[in-house]
C-alpha cells in the first residue's frame, strides 16, 4: 500500500477461522512490537487470548520478541508453509477482498486509503460466500 498522509503503510489483519470475523488496522510499520501491540489491544483485550495463531513467514512473525510474547500469553503459534499462501486461505481471501475494496473506495484518494479501511473490513464481514451463500 502507498504511504498515507497519516504515515500508514501497512495493514495488520486477523481473521477468526471459525466465525470468519475480520479485524484489521492500518499501521506505520509491521515490526514485531507493532504486531504485539495490535494483538494485545485489538484481540486479547477484546476477545481474550486465542488458543492458536497461524501466520505467514514474515520476519516480524518469526522474531523472538513476538515468539516470547505469545509464549507468555500462552497462545500456540504456527507458521504457514513456505511459498504456499493457500495454507492460510481465509486470510489470503480476506486480504484480496480488502485490497479490492480499498482500490475502489480510495480510487481518487490513494493517500487516504486508511480512512476507508473500516468500511472495507465491514464489506468483508458481510459478503456472502460464493459456495455456501452464507
The CATH code of the domain that includes 20 is 3.30.420.10
Average pLDDT for 79-108: 83
At 41, is the secondary structure helix, strand, or coil?
helix
Query: How sure is the predictor about 129, in pLDDT bands with cuts at 50, 70 and 90?
Result: low
> Can you give the pLDDT at residue 57?
75
Domain of 25?
A: 10-126
Q: Is residue 2 part of a domain?
A: no
> Can you give the pLDDT at residue 4?
95
Q: Render pLDDT for 7-58 as a digit per residue (tens, 0 to 9).
A: 999 999 999 988 889 999 999 999 999 999 999 999 999 999 999 998 877 7
The strand pair at 76-79 and 52-55 is best described as: parallel
Q: Is residue 132 part of a domain?
A: no
pTM: 0.85
The dihedral through the CA atoms of 90, 124, 49, 28 has a sign that is positive
Amino acid at each position: 500500500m502507498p504511504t498515507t498522509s497519516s504515515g500508514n503503510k501497512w495493514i495488520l489483519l486477523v481473521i477468526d477461522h471459525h466465525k470468519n470475523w475480520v479485524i484489521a488496522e492500518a499501521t506505520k510499520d509491521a515490526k514485531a512490537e507493532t504486531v504485539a501491540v495490535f494483538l494485545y489491544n485489538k484481540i486479547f483485550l477484546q476477545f481474550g487470548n486465542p488458543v492458536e495463531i497461524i501466520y505467514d513467514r514474515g520476519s516480524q512473525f518469526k522474531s523472538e520478541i513476538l515468539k516470547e510474547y505469545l509464549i507468555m500469553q500462552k497462545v500456540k503459534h504456527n507458521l504457514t508453509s513456505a511459498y504456499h499462501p493457500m495454507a492460510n486461505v481465509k486470510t489470503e481471501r480476506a486480504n484480496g477482498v480488502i485490497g479490492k475494496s480499498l482500490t475502489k473506495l480510495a480510487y481518487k484518494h490513494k493517500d487516504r486509503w486508511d480512512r476507508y479501511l473500516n468500511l472495507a473490513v465491514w464489506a468483508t464481514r458481510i459478503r456472502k460466500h460464493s459456495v455456501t451463500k452464507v
